[in-house]
Amino acid sequence: MQNWTEVGPVESVPQKGSRVMTTPDGDVAIFRTSGDEVFALFDQCPHKKGPLSQGIVYDKRVACPLHNWVIDLSSGEATGPDEGCTRSFDTKVEDGLIYIAL
């Protein structure tokens, strides 16, 4: 049984962009793709802890703003030859509201 937390309306996250949600365990980045899919990752790049929420988003990926590692939004895994993984969270959208399973 997952425990869903309401985050806010989908429109408050820009398309191909991200907003941060703060939690006692650290920041979580909420992403919205150009196709309005929503993903959530722990806001730290596996490389040097760069804030992924500040990166450029394309397809289902985000490029870390510090050194351009490209992270897969659904798995949190680094793509290409880079190796590393950041925590990902389940999300859902209901009636235009984003929910996250922390």
Q: Which residues bind other proteins (CB under 8 A)?
A: 5-8, 12-17, 19-24, 27, 30, 33-34, 48-51, 54-59, 63, 65-68, 70, 80-82, 102
Least distance in Å: CB of 48 to other proteins? Answer: 7
For 12, phi and psi rounded to 5 degrees?
-80, -5
**Please, which residue, 1 or 25, has the CB nearer to other proteins?**
25
Quick one: DSSP state of residue 60? Answer: T
Least distance in Å: CB of 17 to other proteins? Answer: 5
Close Cβ partners of 47 (under 8 Å, ≥ 6 residues apart) = 64, 66, 67, 69, 78, 82, 84
